[in-house]
Structure 1
Amino acid sequence: MTNRAFRVVVPALALFLTAFLISQATAAKSTAAKVTSLPGVTAFLTDMIPDDPERAGTFFAELKKGGANTVILGPPETGYTAGRSTLPDIVSRAHTAGLKVYLIVPVRNMPDVLAVKPRWEDMKYDLNSGTIQPTGRLDLFKDDVVDYLSSRIKDLASTGVDGILFGTDLYYDDVEAMTSDTLQTYANRFNAALIPGRAFARVENLQGGLVVVEYGAGFREWAEMKRDRLIVVIQKIMDDVRAEHAGMLFGLPLHEEGLASAEAALNRFAYDMEAFRQLNVDLYWIAIKHRRMRARKGMGYKESMEALARIAQAGNEAVKAPSRALIILQTASSSGKVLPYSEIEKTASLARKGGNPYLAFTAAEERSLPAVLTKKLFKGNDSPR
């Protein structure tokens, strides 16, 4: 009797889950259809707002004179971490200068939160030791974590910012999401346990560390489960925030490595652009810092420019709607020296390869670019599409 009941329940549960996921995807598609056009975006990204209020106002006014209509508060790698207390004044001064404010918000890399809520930490499978280890990141499979993120982003939205760009820490690595609760969720969903030794079928020492080069039993379902969870989390946060701030713009980060191969992206990062396009996000953004890439990988000028062009083209083609791609470009070296203007113009030209994205440029008070140059760079970005 028990076995017969089990055989009846499992197919029924599978049908229920299938129907639920289809309904979720349909709902996302219907909401996404509402994003029909965007106003022009001409933006500068900065992570260095002058402390003095008057200087901050002057800085924003200079950005406006340079042709910008938006300032993005970063940096891209970590998101805005300067604290909420000063944000209302920053937003007010930017608005006074005629600028909208987009905020890059960290999602999983939040050590201050984990210091207070250690049980919210995600776990990973350590390829060296074969043991489960902490990641230092939030676990998005915990509903309490998602509720916290919604509340936090709603609070940030209440400062008057015009847009929220999810941070690049959003996505999962292939070895992450290994808490006991998440493993149990997998077992319940697929009626089988995930065994890391089988899921990570072959590991090699590449680029100074162990990397999974072949995936085995159960891993594909594991990656898809993480992707599905990301879709639910992103949509919930956006819905919660927009319920109180109806006009809030949202941007999703493009994954640089994930753009190279859709198959590899899903496996390594739970990144599935085809699925994410169903979400009602307004922008897909990426920062391509070609000078940093050149230094890190030992590239020459030509090689780094070719890499920039490849990434930009892949990003433009992945979005499949040029008006919804935002590419942030580097204008200064790691030492803070402004790059040659010809090099900046070249990066802007290459970033438009394969599409017509919105462009943003890094900026700081002490290294402003000539307005005649930036207006030229922004040409074509300022009209609705």
Structure 2
Amino acid sequence: MIDGGDGRRAPTVPPTGASYLLSSGVGVVVITAALLTFGCVPHAKPPKERYGPAKTVAPTDPTLEIQARLLQDARTFHAQGRYDAAIPVLQRLITAYPRSPLLTDAHWWLARSYEQAGNLDEALAHYRLVAQAVPPGSTGLQARKRVVELEQALRATPAGVKGRQAVLIPAHRLPPPQQLEAWVRALAQAGMTTLVVEAGTGQGQREGNGRDAQPAGVYFQTRRADTVRDVVGQLVPVAHRQGLKVFSSVTLRRMPWLKPQLAQLGWADRVYDPLRGQILPSESPDLFHPAFQDYLVGLLSDLVAGGIDGILFRADLPIGPADGFSPFGLKGFERDFGITLDPATLFPSADPDARSGDLSGLRSAAADQGDYAPAFWRWAGWKSRETLKVMDRLREALRKQSPNLHVALEVHPEAATDPVSALVKFNEDLLESKRVRFDSYVLGGQPAVVGVQPVGLPVIADRMIALIGDVERVWVALPVPLAAPVAVEQLAEGVNPAADHSRFAKGIGLLYVVGTAQTAGSVP
């Protein structure tokens, strides 16, 4: 996404015509005039006036067309929100052609690309070059304005706060658009480096103050679901101006906007009811359905097009081992193991939880391994691996669109302390997820209890760091229960990164999870 832009592409320079004009000796005038009057995006208009070292270039410079193509490619990447792809192209133009008439244009677009990518130091350096090179005019004024604003933003970060700090907040609790700039600036001054917002609404839960749930939909522009509010479009440019990255959180099995259509589309998962001995339709989508996977690729591609820097796959609520019995799940298991799965043989008939149909409250699976048939563990492990394969497919598809997109995975504490229980209750296998090579992992699922710190969380975090093998890839979720909606506006005053970092291993990231009055750290 372009921050406030109109999305127009710069006109191309046809190679054949350009070569003809150059050979006739009059091409430079025509081509240079076209290049210096490219279209613009409203947030920070590209230069319109002639300036820089254009007069030093020979009138028959054969590389002018190459320079124009590089600038055009970079602007195309910028228009697509692929700022990390635009940066090396502009760097090549600046390095290879230091006397180019397009040099200042290149610095301008490089500054904007760095700013949108969240690298304010580099953006500031190139804005300064533009401000010094351009004579008085609209572009010069805009460059000087950005220099002042970025200098203020960079000075605002408190010296005592270092490291990685993020805030995850339900999108419907964000301040209104006219207050976003001041709110984000306050978070940047408090030491935050990343904002995480929900991609879509939850499952119709009410806030602690009794407010009605948000209508089902998403918080970004797409044709694949109803847009409740374009939070991504509003927040990304504001956060990037303040030097903060923006991530979006996604829970693949919780998409309430699809609920009315699941049966019609044939995308509903199936759950096994031990009490009735039947496989019944679920209210969750079937993650193993190829058509649903294609839908996810399209939906998340639209999300990434909004200019976000990363995606966080959230940990699901406890679901137990009874889900996933859709036709695609059963056929997939039969394909890989060569046996037909009978759900009735997987669960111990004497288990009171199983007989009542409640599989979410299973006791520690580590103590009950002998109660389950070998096929049960094959099934549980297969489901976990197949779920990770779906996430890996999504990651690969989105990386083609945004090569530097950061992809993170949240897991429950049991994934580090009781892996067998995590596999049964949450379909999580931390060691298996390492094979997918997520960029980072979030230790989440903590209850939000006002005035009480989660017991043993630093110890669990140390265990997770040991399993992952790199503290820089680990984050820990810390609940921030805010019952009053207005309290979110004072969020920056309610967090203390310096004190919280002192409780954990050096280098770990902190993710402050703003939840309802009841819960935080799990899916809102």
* TM-score above 0.5, yes or no: yes
Rg comparison, structure with higher value: 2
Equivalent residues in 2 for 1:345-356, closer than 5 Å: 348-350=501-503, 352=504, 356=507
Q: Is residue 330 of structure 1 aligned with residue 487 of structure 2? A: no
- Which residue matches 2:399? 242
Equivalent residues in 2 for 1:70-219, closer than 5 Å: 70-74=194-198, 78=202, 82-85=218-221, 86=230, 87-118=232-263, 119-169=266-316, 173-201=320-348, 202-205=350-353, 209-210=358-359, 211=361, 213=368, 214-219=371-376
Which of 175, 192, 209 is the matching residue for 1:50? 175
Contact 2:165 2:497 in 1 (8 A): no
Opposite residue 352 of structure 2, the aligned amino acid is: E
What do the CA deviations read for 1:28-54 (whole angstroms, capped 9, x no partner)? xxxxxxxxxxx9532222222112x23
Task: From the superposition, tell whether residues 73 and 290 of structure 1 become closer, same or farther in structure 2 (CA, over 3 Å).
Answer: same
Opposite residue 351 of structure 2, the aligned amino acid is: V
Task: From the superposition, tell whether residues 250 and 341 of structure 1 become closer, same or farther in structure 2 (CA, over 3 Å).
Answer: closer
- Which residue matches 2:387? 230
Distance 1:76 1:104 in 2: 8
The CA deviation at 1:76 is: 11
The CA deviation at 1:197 is: 2.6
Distance 2:281 2:502 in 1: 42
Which of 462, 465, 469 is the matching residue for 1:313? 462
Contact 1:199 1:218 in 2 (8 A): yes
Uncovered stretches (5+) of structure 1, i.e. residues with no partner? 1-38, 295-299, 365-385
The CA deviation at 1:171 is: 8.8
Distance 1:81 1:328 in 2: 25
The CA deviation at 1:154 is: 1.0
What do the CA deviations read for 1:254-309 (whole angstroms, capped 9, x no partner)? 123333222332344332211111113111113354534x7xxxxx94xx542434
Contact 2:217 2:257 in 1 (8 A): no
SS of residue in 1 equivalent to 2:321: coil
Uncovered stretches (5+) of structure 2, i.e. residues with no partner? 1-118, 120-162, 204-215, 222-229, 363-367, 516-524
Task: From the superposition, tell whether residues 271 and 184 of structure 1 become closer, same or farther in structure 2 (CA, over 3 Å).
Answer: same
Task: From the superposition, tell whether residues 312 and 197 of structure 1 become closer, same or farther in structure 2 (CA, over 3 Å).
Answer: same
The CA deviation at 1:324 is: 0.4
Distance 1:246 1:148 in 2: 21
Contact 1:114 1:120 in 2 (8 A): no
Contact 1:172 1:226 in 2 (8 A): no
Distance 1:227 1:326 in 2: 22
Which of 253, 278, 286 is the matching residue for 2:410? 253
Distance 1:311 1:335 in 2: 31
Distance 1:64 1:343 in 2: 13
Distance 1:185 1:165 in 2: 27
Distance 2:495 2:327 in 1: 54
Distance 1:128 1:344 in 2: 49
Q: Is residue 286 of structure 1 aligned with residue 443 of structure 2? A: yes
Distance 2:437 2:400 in 1: 14
Distance 2:494 2:219 in 1: 34
Contact 2:269 2:282 in 1 (8 A): yes
What do the CA deviations read for 1:185-215 (whole angstroms, capped 9, x no partner)? 3234323222223211252349994555432
Opposite residue 195 of structure 2, the aligned amino acid is: V
Contact 2:199 2:220 in 1 (8 A): no
Equivalent residues in 2 for 1:35-46, closer than 5 Å: 41-46=164-169
Distance 1:114 1:77 in 2: 12
Task: From the superposition, tell whether residues 179 and 321 of structure 1 become closer, same or farther in structure 2 (CA, over 3 Å).
Answer: same
TM-score by structure 2 length? 0.53
Distance 2:241 2:495 in 1: 32
Distance 2:429 2:298 in 1: 26
The CA deviation at 1:110 is: 1.0
Distance 2:270 2:413 in 1: 24
Task: From the superposition, tell whether residues 341 and 66 of structure 1 become closer, same or farther in structure 2 (CA, over 3 Å).
Answer: closer
Opposite residue 182 of structure 1, the aligned amino acid is: G
Contact 1:76 1:168 in 2 (8 A): no
- Which residue matches 1:380? none
Opposite residue 270 of structure 2, the aligned amino acid is: M
Count residues in correspondence. 315
- Which residue matches 1:63? 187
Task: From the superposition, tell whether residues 219 and 149 of structure 1 become closer, same or farther in structure 2 (CA, over 3 Å).
Answer: same
> As a proportion of its length, which structure holds more strand?
1
Contact 2:217 2:256 in 1 (8 A): no
The CA deviation at 1:97 is: 1.9
Contact 1:308 1:347 in 2 (8 A): no
Contact 2:267 2:289 in 1 (8 A): yes
TM-score by structure 1 length? 0.71
Contact 2:315 2:444 in 1 (8 A): no
What do the CA deviations read for 1:63-104 (whole angstroms, capped 9, x no partner)? 111112211114999499652141212211111222110111
CA RMSD for the aligned pairs? 3.5
Distance 1:44 1:314 in 2: 23
The CA deviation at 1:106 is: 2.2
Task: From the superposition, tell whether residues 253 and 305 of structure 1 become closer, same or farther in structure 2 (CA, over 3 Å).
Answer: closer
Task: From the superposition, tell whether residues 73 and 187 of structure 1 become closer, same or farther in structure 2 (CA, over 3 Å).
Answer: same
Task: From the superposition, tell whether residues 120 and 170 of structure 1 become closer, same or farther in structure 2 (CA, over 3 Å).
Answer: farther
Contact 1:252 1:283 in 2 (8 A): yes
